[in-house]
Amino acid sequence: MPLPSVTRSLSAKLLVLTVLFVLLAEVLIYTPSIARYRLTYLEERLAAAHLAALSVEATPDMMVAMELQNELLAHVGAHAVELIRPDSRVYMLSRSMPPTVDAVFDLRATMAPRLAADAFMALAQRRDRVIRVIGPSPKDPAFQVEMVIDERPMIQAMVDFSGRILALSVAISLIAAVLVFVSLTRLLVRPMRRLTEGLVAIRRDPDGTPPFQPSARTDEIGVAERELADMQATIRSALRQRERLAALGTAVAKINHDLRAILSTAALLSERLAESADPEVRRVTPRLMASIDRAVELCGQTMTYTRDGLLPLARTELPLRPLVEEAGTTALAALRPDVVRPDGERAELRWDNRVPEGLTVRADAAQLSRALVNLGRNAAQAGAGAVTVTAETRPGGGLLLLVADDGPGLPPRARDNLFQPFAGSARAGGVGLGLAIAREVLRAHGGDLRLVESTAAGTVFALELPPGFVVEGAGRVGEMPTSDSPIPD
């Protein structure tokens, strides 16, 4: 996937968002600013009106000539002024014919939201109004001033103020955007683009891309860079190991084919040795044949494990109890009568099938039987005398199969490497493929295989199968009739 163009890059989005957010902040600041500007404008006019009205007190007969009144009112920018003293005396200046008042604004008890609303209403006003303003004098709050003024000069002053605020906001937005853009580009965008380019290069050519060099940063970007470098090294190592394993697998397949032919010949000759008159030959022949059988089994399991990959399933509806019974027979059929356990006793196994009659499942019979056979064979070879299989249906048609034996339990090495091919064997000479194959079968069905417990009293494995697995039948197996007759060797 190509990297995005400049207009669609993270840098461009960052620049646009920075400008928008700064402008939004300026809009939020503008609302109280314009309300405060209008209030200050009116208070200044009230202060000028107060001073103009005091001229009445300076005259001997409390009368001011009309020419002087007009001059004072022109200085205030009002049509009429009234000054009410604390003793209720009123000083008034007025033109000969004051205009009709269109609106009245009282500044004595106006809250901030109301001031903001009045300011925006004034800016939206299209006709020239005459307004009456009432409020305490900024010179002396004990005096009340009332004045009649034209609203248009105030609106024009507010528009001029808004223009200055807009110009300042744009300048601040651009400066802030450039500073934030440059800072974040250096701190975030460029490192992220470098990480992105590294990821794209690794995806295109995992093995041929030069190693990614992380920076010395200690923040999240630095952690991501170091993780990318480690991931690249891990991928390269995995690819090289995969190539070696592929070559090794091809060689093993060829060797395995020839080795099985050799072992088959050795097995035929060993059977003739059993007919020898020499007692010593007859004594060692069973062990020789058991060793050859183990070698053949190792070759077969190795080829099966490396060849299968994702298991193809042929699901059919089938009764579960006969399948479990057949799996027990197959598990014991693979054990020779002269095979011995670790304690030196002959390998015998009692297969206790407690799966209820009438329990029908939808599964691949061969693969599910294969998993049960591997578990039974492992139990017998580990020294178990009995294997018990129970079943419990789950809500939604799921199933839980428990395979329990009375063997000595798994050794620590086997528990530590459980389900790992060639590492999780519980017996000398084993390859650990039985449990790995059984787990593959369960996961191919959508379930899983897990170890429930392993103690000196025995080992329990749980075969968990997903909802929809059970077609017919339900219940707990412990209440069902059991068949604990030994399966013949």
Across-strand partners of 360? 319, 472
Residue type, 331: A
Q: List domains and CATH numbers for the chain.
A: 10-174 (no CATH), 315-479 (3.30.565.10)
Quote the distance between the C-alpha of residue 435 and its chain's center.
32
Spatial contact of 386 and 456, defined as CB atoms under 8 Å apart: no
- For the segment 185-202, what is each residue's pLDDT rounded down to a tens digit? 788 778 888 888 888 888
- For the segment 433-477, what is each residue's pLDDT rounded down to a tens digit? 778 888 888 988 889 999 999 888 899 999 999 988 888 765 444
- For the segment 310-337, what is each residue's pLDDT rounded down to a tens digit? 567 788 999 999 999 988 887 876 564 4
Q: Give the span between the Cα atoms of 137 and 150, in whole angstroms.
A: 19
Spatial contact of 424 and 436, defined as CB atoms under 8 Å apart: yes
- What is the separation, in whole angstroms, between the first and last Cα of the chain? 62
Query: In angstroms, what CA-CA distances link 179 with 150, 172, 186, 421?
Result: 45, 10, 11, 58
Q: Give the span between the Cα atoms of 95 and 103, in whole angstroms.
A: 19
Average pLDDT, the chain: 79
pLDDT at residue 3, as a whole number? 53
Q: Is the full-model pTM beyond 0.85? A: no
pLDDT at residue 6, as a whole number? 56
**CB-based burial label for 125 (10 Å; 0-12, 13-18, 19+):** middle
Query: In angstroms, what CA-CA distances link 11 with 4, 184, 318, 479?
Result: 11, 9, 62, 69
